[in-house]
């Protein structure tokens, strides 16, 4: 009876724990397999423990170019998309204008379109207007900025919506010009939202494959390289880079969350 | 099943008094309620009064089943409901801030409990309830289209329609403005008299508790400080906490120095002797705190004006005068107390300006005595915190 | 400025005691303010229009071209391309719909308890757990998808466990796998990978919607004779519905066009429409108009399904 009662009380927690397990297990497998020393070309089956891949994370430089290309595109796309998206978010939350419905649909649709559709439509545009030679760095960057903007807008918008507009009024009441109000009050308060949006953009761009494949031409980004490698054989170095990305992310979460968590645990 | 709407025994249990027996609730190291024993008679309007954090809401939640006691039992009549899940108890709650279901209309909100209990035809009881709370015209609206007072009545109706054995009210009027609150107080009292259910009302507002309840339990630090009728609590507080929390009191420490007839003589710190009724002395030893309510005191220009037989504090100086219409409230500095409060009803008599030399007096029958070993200021800050 | 307009302006100025000059200055400021939102909107919106809306036209025009890789393609308005692609690849189209529907249903089944737990039971761990749900986003999803190849390998412990519990014959009996001791390269492994990849998209909006629900409403439900399950059905679910609609859409839409899972975890029998499009557009298929026609079908199909679904669910608050 006690067991049944305990189970009834915690059933939701148990189910949630199992789902978390499902979500996180592949990450552990990625890390685990980064220490593998496969005998063949495919790093799928566990064979032998080794630090080889970690000692040589770029696989003798083979991964250098795709990684650099992905980083470059992700940084540029993040920069442009964050600026464009933040401007739109401010216009939407703080101003009235005509055509709000149109703006909202234009922002929503890219998030609601299958990636393959966005990729092929852009490819069709580039082929029809510029020809096949245009495909490469420029076309990938254009595509990435395009699909990142909407995510920036919703992220910054929610931060702006959560901000008390009276704060700006108060600043103006205290003799701040609109310009000063923006830089001294509004911007510092919205900055975390903009930061989150930039992080999201970076992750989306760095990780994108389908749209990139359609618009890449002969350029090869990191995900595209992995995709090609699936046919030819995947080295454990790919897992090393995947693990590093995860570790950096988790460190970021820890830096952002742990102080808050400590604060609340003290407050109790 | 539909019979349930007519009889108070929603859960099929026999109606009766609500009893809490040695109930304790701990959250980690913190004991919110400590060994509480309490009987609330069937059909009464009972108020749990106290400042925030005194354990009154936790007590209420243990009755509703939303919180399980760490120790002790909760009984409804002879029925032990301590471990019964909230949805199986014939107890309903009017939540603070109402907790109305935003996706349901007013009528659907009210019908919610009946439907969950499998009542097939809810139309008539819902309509009757809408009539009772005077919202028949807006039964089809959603809660967010209603004013605070209307939402409050929906919350009441939603609970009442189930005819619970006990209706719990958790600061039900806290979110309303003063005027509406007064109006709802009267209405709540009317409805309680009409339906004759046991109401347990949690509040920090002493005026609200006194207006509505037959019996008030003043809670402090997880314990019941004093329990009694509003007049009893006000006229004869037994602790400094109750004296300070419920209204205002002038309190001075002193020492008992013999009896005079039915009165006890107490010598205050400056040597002044005052009389208090022996029957109203709660002190166990010689150390007595003398208490008098400000409105029981009179203010005079000189000792000559004081009628015989009254207690008297001479050598006072008015330090503040506030005229509030029905009365004038003075703060007087006397030897035993820097801030003595005196409320004088506005009967057209003269008003003393700050700086005036005065004498204050009161009828010995109006004083009370408290045990001298307690903190003389207990409850005063709690009262301020509670904002009443 | 015309005379009557000037008169109006003067009257307006007189009415509140300002000078005409002041009023004009004020109007200039207001006009500048009125253009500000358009200045803020223009760059981003133009970018989206040029690179998202205009390409829709490009793909439609490409879809009715004819020709071949060597001579190039010309616009000949050959609408029959659509008939061609349907008859040639309808099997893959239907398969894509099946996979993405299954994926959406399983995602919802998993997302509801997970979001519920994080929103209502996790207390101060809430943000941390939500971060863990999205954290996988930040490692390349292709790498993580590959990890499923290791997890579901024939001699892995998952398949062993499934064999012991007699789940594998059950799956092959339902046609989700093809043999009793292997699960890779089957619809099962593909959908499993898809559910894994898209689950965070389902959880996020549902969590956001649930997090807004006042937990006291649950208490009110329980107080009013609703068991935990009844409270979920009658209170939590309807209040979280906008999030549920949003979450299922954000799962279904990308899932329907996805081909990475079908290729990496599937086999020849799990070919989906995305793969066909990929091959036609940039791969060995070589018929760009056919690829474009399939894209248009996919685009219109998802749009129709989405709109019908939103209408059915009776909510427009998607994002």
pLDDT tens digits along B268-307: 988 899 999 999 999 888 899 999 999 999 999 999 999 9
Residues A37 and A128 in one domain: no
- The answer as to whether B59 is a domain residue is yes
Size of interface A-C (CB pairs under 8 A): 258
pLDDT value for A208: 94
Mean pLDDT score, B220-233: 93
* Angstrom distance (rounded) from CA B189 to CA B199: 10
Inter-chain CB proximity B112 and C221 less than 8 Å: yes
- Nearest CA among A244, A230, A224, A227 for reference residue A31: A244
- The answer as to whether A197 is a domain residue is yes
% of chain B beyond a pLDDT of 90: 64
Inter-chain CB proximity B99 and C217 less than 8 Å: yes
C299: phi then psi, degrees, rounded to nearest 5: -60, -50
Cβ neighbours of C219 in B, within 8 Å? 66, 86, 93, 95, 99
- The Cβ of residue C210 has, within 10 Å, a number of other Cβ atoms equal to 23
B14: CATH: 3.40.50.300
Residues B210 and B260 in one domain: no
Chain A interface includes C232 (CB < 8 A): no
Inter-chain CB proximity A106 and C48 less than 8 Å: yes
* Angstrom distance (rounded) from CA B9 to CA B163: 7
Residues A194 and A67 in one domain: yes
* Angstrom distance (rounded) from CA B306 to CA C286: 114
What is the ipTM score, two decimals? 0.88
- Interfacial C residues in 187-226 facing B (CB < 8 Å): 214, 216-217, 219-226
Chain C interface includes B58 (CB < 8 A): no
Residue carrying the six token digits 């349901």? B104
- Nearest CA among B179, B11, B195, B165 for reference residue B93: B165
For residue B34, pLDDT over 50 is answered with yes
Chain C interface includes B101 (CB < 8 A): yes
- Reduced to 3 states, what is the DSSP secondary structure of residue B272? coil
* Residue of A16, A97, A114 lying closest to C41 (CB–CB): A97
pLDDT value for C225: 92
User: Which of A131-135, B87-91, C43-47 reaches the highest mean pLDDT?
Assistant: C43-47
How many Å is the Cα radius of gyration of chain B? Answer: 25
Q: How far is CA B281 from CA B293, B368, B382, in A?
A: 15, 6, 24
Cβ-contact C58, C294 below 8 angstroms: no
Nearest CA distance, C272 vs chain A (angstrom): 12
Cβ neighbours of C222 in B, within 8 Å? 65-66, 85-87
| Range C211-243 burial, b when 16+ CB lie within 10 A, else e | eebbebbbbbbbbbbbebebbbebbbeebbbbb
Which two structure tokens, joined as six digits, stand for C21?
């000059």
Inter-chain CB proximity C59 and A209 less than 8 Å: no
Contacts of B76 (CB under 8 A, 6+ apart): B13, B15, B16, B18, B19, B89, B90, B91, B165, B166
Label residue A173 left, alpha or beta by phi (over 0 means left) and psi (-120 to 50 means alpha): alpha
pLDDT value for C27: 61
* Angstrom distance (rounded) from CA A140 to CA A205: 10
pLDDT value for C20: 60
Tell which of B203, B233, B263 closes a domain.
B233
Inter-chain CB proximity B66 and C217 less than 8 Å: no
Minimum CA–CA partner of A114 in chain C: C254
pLDDT value for A264: 63
Spans of chain C, pLDDT less than 70: 1-33, 314-319
Cβ neighbours of B9 in C, within 8 Å? none
Tell which of B201, B233, B265 closes a domain.
B233
* Residue of B66, B85, B158 lying closest to C224 (CB–CB): B158
For residue B222, pLDDT over 60 is answered with yes
Residue of C124, C147, C208 to mutate for A, most A C-beta atoms under 10 A:
C147
B270: CATH: 2.40.50.100
| Range B77-91 burial, b when 16+ CB lie within 10 A, else e | bebebbebebbebbb
| A74 vs B148, residue with greater confidence | A74
Predicted confidence band at B4 (pLDDT cuts at 50, 70, 90)?
A: very low
Residue of C223, C240, C317 to mutate for B, most B C-beta atoms under 10 A:
C223
Q: For A163-177, B286-300, B342-356, which range has the lowest pLDDT when averaged over its residues?
A: A163-177
Residues A29 and A81 in one domain: no
- Nearest CA among B386, B241, A114, B191 for reference residue C297: A114
pLDDT tens profile A106-124: 998 888 789 999 999 999 9
Cβ neighbours of C238 in B, within 8 Å? 103
* Angstrom distance (rounded) from CA C298 to CA C285: 18
For B349, counting Cβ atoms within 10 Å of its Cβ (0-12 exposed, 13-18 middle, 19+ buried), the class is: exposed
% of chain B beyond a pLDDT of 70: 94
* Angstrom distance (rounded) from CA B304 to CA B309: 13
Helical (H) or strand (E) element with B224: strand B223-228
Cβ neighbours of A213 in C, within 8 Å? 278, 282
Residues A84 and A212 in one domain: yes
pLDDT tens profile B123-146: 999 999 998 888 999 999 999 999
pLDDT value for C126: 87
Inter-chain CB proximity C58 and A121 less than 8 Å: yes
- Reduced to 3 states, what is the DSSP secondary structure of residue C284? coil
Residues B58 and B34 in one domain: yes
pLDDT value for B388: 38
- The answer as to whether B134 is a domain residue is yes
Residue of A9, A10, A23 to mutate for C, most C C-beta atoms under 10 A:
A23
What is the domain extent for residue A23? 2-53
Residue carrying the six token digits 């820890």? A254
Residues B60 and B103 in one domain: yes
Tell me which DSSP letter residue B144 carries. Answer: G
- Nearest CA among A250, A199, A244, A241 for reference residue A223: A241
- The answer as to whether B244 is a domain residue is no
Residues A104 and A196 in one domain: yes
- The Cβ of residue B196 has, within 10 Å, a number of other Cβ atoms equal to 10
Cβ neighbours of C214 in B, within 8 Å? 99
- Reduced to 3 states, what is the DSSP secondary structure of residue C192? helix
Residues B300 and B174 in one domain: no
Number of domains in chain B: 2
Cβ-contact A87, C44 below 8 angstroms: yes
* Residue of B66, B92, B102 lying closest to C224 (CB–CB): B92
Residues A48 and A67 in one domain: no
Residues A20 and A126 in one domain: no
For residue B8, pLDDT over 60 is answered with no
* Angstrom distance (rounded) from CA A80 to CA C52: 16
Cβ neighbours of B64 in C, within 8 Å? 223
Q: What is the mean pLDDT of chain B?
A: 88
Cβ neighbours of C37 in A, within 8 Å? 91, 95-97
pLDDT value for C28: 59
Minimum CA–CA partner of C220 in chain B: B99
pLDDT value for C1: 39
Residues B164 and B297 in one domain: no
How many Å is the Cα radius of gyration of chain C? Answer: 28
Residues B58 and B169 in one domain: yes
Residues B253 and B221 in one domain: no
3-state secondary structure B274-336: EEEEHHHECCCCCEEEEEECHHHEEEECCHHHCCCCCEEEEEEEEEEEEECCCEEEEEEEECC
Number of domains in chain A: 2
Cβ-contact A221, A73 below 8 angstroms: yes
- Interfacial A residues in 204-223 facing C (CB < 8 Å): 206-207, 209-210, 213-214, 222-223
Residues B21 and B137 in one domain: yes
- Nearest CA among A194, A203, A196, A172 for reference residue A185: A172
pLDDT value for B11: 41
Chain C interface includes A111 (CB < 8 A): yes
- The answer as to whether A251 is a domain residue is no
Minimum CA–CA partner of A16 in chain C: C114
For residue B79, pLDDT over 80 is answered with yes
Nearest CA distance, C213 vs chain B (angstrom): 10
Inter-chain CB proximity A245 and C43 less than 8 Å: no
Residues B73 and B179 in one domain: yes
Residue carrying the six token digits 């509040």? B203
Which two structure tokens, joined as six digits, stand for A106?
């234009």
- Reduced to 3 states, what is the DSSP secondary structure of residue C101? helix
Residues B91 and B48 in one domain: yes
Angle at alpha carbon of residue B67, lines to B63 and B73, rounded to 5° = 50
- The answer as to whether A268 is a domain residue is no
Q: How far is CA C239 from CA B133, B147, B315, C307, C312, in A?
A: 26, 21, 68, 21, 16
* Residue of C116, C257, C319 lying closest to A12 (CB–CB): C116
A79: CATH: 1.10.3720.10
Inter-chain CB proximity B99 and C225 less than 8 Å: no
Nearest CA distance, C208 vs chain A (angstrom): 12
Q: For A239-243, B207-211, C3-7, which range has the lowest pLDDT when averaged over its residues?
A: C3-7
Which two structure tokens, joined as six digits, stand for B293?
């309510």
Residue carrying the six token digits 């083979």? A62
Chain A interface includes C24 (CB < 8 A): no
Q: Are strands B198-203 and B166-170 parallel, antiparallel or unpaired?
A: parallel
Residues A201 and A71 in one domain: yes
Contacts of A225 (CB under 8 A, 6+ apart): A63, A66
Contacts of C104 (CB under 8 A, 6+ apart): C198, C202, C248, C251, C252, C255
For B221, counting Cβ atoms within 10 Å of its Cβ (0-12 exposed, 13-18 middle, 19+ buried), the class is: middle
What is the domain extent for residue B321? 249-386
Inter-chain CB proximity C263 and A230 less than 8 Å: yes
* Residue of C216, C224, C238 lying closest to B116 (CB–CB): C224
Contacts of B218 (CB under 8 A, 6+ apart): B49, B50, B224, B225, B226, B227, B233, B241, B242, B245, B246
- Nearest CA among B34, B44, B40 for reference residue B20: B40
Cβ-contact C142, C260 below 8 angstroms: yes
Tell which of B233, B268, B291 closes a domain.
B233
How many Å is the Cα radius of gyration of chain A? Answer: 23
Nearest CA distance, C54 vs chain A (angstrom): 8
- Interfacial C residues in 247-306 facing A (CB < 8 Å): 249-250, 253-254, 256-260, 263-264, 274, 277-278, 281-282, 288, 291-292, 295, 298-299, 302, 306
- The Cβ of residue B352 has, within 10 Å, a number of other Cβ atoms equal to 21
* Exposure of C239 in the CB half-sphere (CA atoms within 13 A): 23
Residues B65 and B91 in one domain: yes
- The answer as to whether A252 is a domain residue is no
- Nearest CA among A29, A81, A251 for reference residue C135: A251
- The answer as to whether B241 is a domain residue is no
Question: Strand order in B297-300's β-sheet?
Answer: B297-300, B357-362, B311-323, B327-334, B337-345
- Nearest CA among C157, C199, C104 for reference residue A22: C199
- The answer as to whether B238 is a domain residue is no
User: What is the separation of C-alpha B67 from the centre of its chain, rounded to a whole number of angstroms?
Assistant: 22
Residues A106 and A143 in one domain: yes
- Nearest CA among B12, B88, B382, B109 for reference residue B219: B382
pLDDT tens profile C277-308: 999 999 888 899 999 999 999 999 988 988 88
Residues B169 and B285 in one domain: no
Residues A43 and A75 in one domain: no
- Reduced to 3 states, what is the DSSP secondary structure of residue C6? helix
Angle at alpha carbon of residue B100, lines to B95 and B104, rounded to 5° = 160
Query: What is the dihedral sign for C-alpha A179, A185, A186, A192?
Result: positive
* Chain A partners (3+ C-beta pairs within 8 A): C
Minimum CA–CA partner of C212 in chain B: B102
Inter-chain CB proximity B116 and C223 less than 8 Å: no
Which two structure tokens, joined as six digits, stand for A254?
């820890």
């Amino acid at each position: 009876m006690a067991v049944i009662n305990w189970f009834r009380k915690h059933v939701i927690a148990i189910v949630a724990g199992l789902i978390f397990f499902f979500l996180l297990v592949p990450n552990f497998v990625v890390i685990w397999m980064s220490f593998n020393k496969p005998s063949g070309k495919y790093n799928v089956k566990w064979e032998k423990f080794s630090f080889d891949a970690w000692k040589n994370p770029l696989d003798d430089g083979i991964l250098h170019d795709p990684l650099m290309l992905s980083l470059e595109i992700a940084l540029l796309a993040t920069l442009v998309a964050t600026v464009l998206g933040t401007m739109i978010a401010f216009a939407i939350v703080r101003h009235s204008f005509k055509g709000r419905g149109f703006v909202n649909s234009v922002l929503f649709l890219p998030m609601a379109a299958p990636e393959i559709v966005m990729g092929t439509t852009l490819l069709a545009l580039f082929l029809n207007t510029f020809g096949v030679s245009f495909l490469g760095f420029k076309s990938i960057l254009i595509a990435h900025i395009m699909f990142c903007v909407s995510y920036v807008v919703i992220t910054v918008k929610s931060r702006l919506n959560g901000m008390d507009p009276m704060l700006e009024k108060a600043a103006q009441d205290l003799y701040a010009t609109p310009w000063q109000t923006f830089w001294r009050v509004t911007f510092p308060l919205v900055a975390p939202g903009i930061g989150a949006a930039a992080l999201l953009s970076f992750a989306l761009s760095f990780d994108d494959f389908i749209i990139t494949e359609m618009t890449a031409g002969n350029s090869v980004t990191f995900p595209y390289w992995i995709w090609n490698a699936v046919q030819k054989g995947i080295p454990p170095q790919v897992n090393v880079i995947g693990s590093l990305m995860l570790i950096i992310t988790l460190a970021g979460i820890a830096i952002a969350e742990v102080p808050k968590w400590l604060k609340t645990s003290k407050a109790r | 099943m539909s019979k349930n709407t007519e009889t108070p025994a929603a859960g099929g249990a026999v109606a009766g008094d609500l009893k809490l027996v040695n109930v304790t609730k701990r959250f980690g190291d913190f004991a919110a309620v400590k060994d509480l024993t309490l009987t609330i008679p069937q059909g009464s309007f009972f108020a749990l009064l106290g400042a925030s954090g005194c354990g009154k809401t936790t007590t209420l939640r243990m009755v509703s089943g939303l919180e399980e006691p760490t120790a002790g039992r909760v009984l409804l009549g002879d029925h032990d409901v301590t471990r019964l899940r909230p949805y199986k108890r014939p107890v309903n709650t009017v939540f603070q801030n109402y907790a109305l279901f935003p996706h349901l209309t007013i009528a659907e909100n009210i019908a919610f409990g009946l439907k969950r209990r499998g009542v097939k035809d809810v139309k008539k009881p819902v309509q009757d309830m809408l009539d009772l709370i005077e919202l028949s015209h807006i039964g089809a609206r959603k809660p967010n289209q209603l004013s605070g007072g209307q939402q409050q009545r929906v919350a009441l109706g939603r609970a009442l329609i189930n005819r619970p054995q006990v209706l719990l009210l958790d600061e039900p009027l806290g979110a309303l403005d003063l005027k509406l609150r007064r109006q709802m107080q009267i209405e709540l009292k009317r409805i309680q008299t009409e339906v004759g259910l046991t109401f347990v009302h949690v509040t920090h507002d002493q005026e609200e508790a006194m207006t509505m309840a037959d019996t008030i339990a003043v809670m402090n630090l997880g314990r019941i400080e004093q329990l009694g009728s509003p007049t009893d609590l006000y006229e004869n507080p037994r602790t400094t906490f109750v004296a300070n929390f419920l209204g205002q009191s002038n309190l001075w420490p002193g020492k008992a120095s013999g009896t005079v007839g039915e009165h006890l003589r107490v010598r205050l710190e400056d040597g002044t002797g005052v009389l208090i009724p022996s029957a109203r002395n709660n002190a166990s030893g010689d150390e007595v705190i003398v208490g008098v309510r400000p409105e029981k005191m009179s203010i005079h220009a000189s000792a000559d004006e004081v009628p015989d037989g009254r207690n008297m504090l001479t050598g006072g100086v008015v330090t503040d005068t506030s005229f509030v219409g029905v009365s004038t409230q003075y703060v007087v500095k006397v030897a035993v107390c820097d801030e003595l409060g005196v409320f004088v009803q506005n009967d057209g008599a003269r008003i003393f300006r700050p700086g005036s030399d005065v004498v204050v007096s009161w009828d010995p029958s109006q004083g009370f005595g408290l045990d001298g070993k307690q903190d003389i200021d207990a409850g005063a800050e709690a009262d301020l915190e509670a904002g009443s | 400025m015309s005379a009557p307009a000037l008169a109006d302006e003067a009257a307006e100025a007189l009415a509140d005691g300002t000078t005409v000059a002041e009023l004009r200055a004020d109007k200039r400021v207001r006009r500048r303010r009125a253009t500000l939102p358009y200045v803020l909107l223009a760059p981003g919106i133009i970018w989206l229009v040029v690179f998202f809306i205009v390409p829709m036209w490009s793909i439609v025009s490409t879809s009715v071209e004819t020709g071949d890789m060597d001579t190039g393609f010309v616009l000949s308005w050959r609408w029959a391309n659509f008939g061609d692609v349907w008859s040639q690849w309808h099997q893959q189209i239907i398969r894509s719909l099946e996979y993405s529907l299954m994926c959406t249903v399983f995602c919802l089944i998993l997302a509801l308890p997970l979001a519920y737990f994080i929103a209502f039971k996790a207390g101060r761990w809430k943000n941390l757990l939500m971060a863990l749900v999205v954290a996988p986003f930040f490692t390349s999803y292709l790498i993580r998808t590959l990890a499923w190849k290791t997890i579901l390998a024939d001699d892995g412990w998952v398949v062993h466990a499934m064999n012991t519990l007699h789940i594998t014959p059950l799956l092959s009996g339902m046609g989700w796998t093809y043999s009793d001791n292997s699960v890779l390269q089957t619809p099962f492994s593909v959908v499993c990978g898809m559910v894994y990849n898209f689950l965070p998209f389902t959880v996020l909006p549902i969590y956001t919607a649930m997090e807004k629900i006042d937990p006291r409403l649950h208490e009110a439900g329980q107080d009013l004779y609703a068991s935990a399950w009844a409270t979920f059905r009658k209170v939590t679910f309807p209040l979280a519905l906008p999030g549920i609609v949003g979450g299922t859409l954000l799962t279904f839409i990308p899932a329907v066009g996805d081909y990475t899972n079908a290729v990496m975890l599937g086999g020849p029998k799990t070919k989906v429409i995305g793969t066909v499009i990929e091959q036609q557009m940039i791969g060995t298929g070589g018929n760009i108009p056919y690829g474009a026609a399939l894209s248009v079908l996919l685009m219109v199909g998802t749009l129709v399904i989405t709109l019908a679904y939103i209408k059915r669910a009776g909510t427009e608050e998607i994002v």
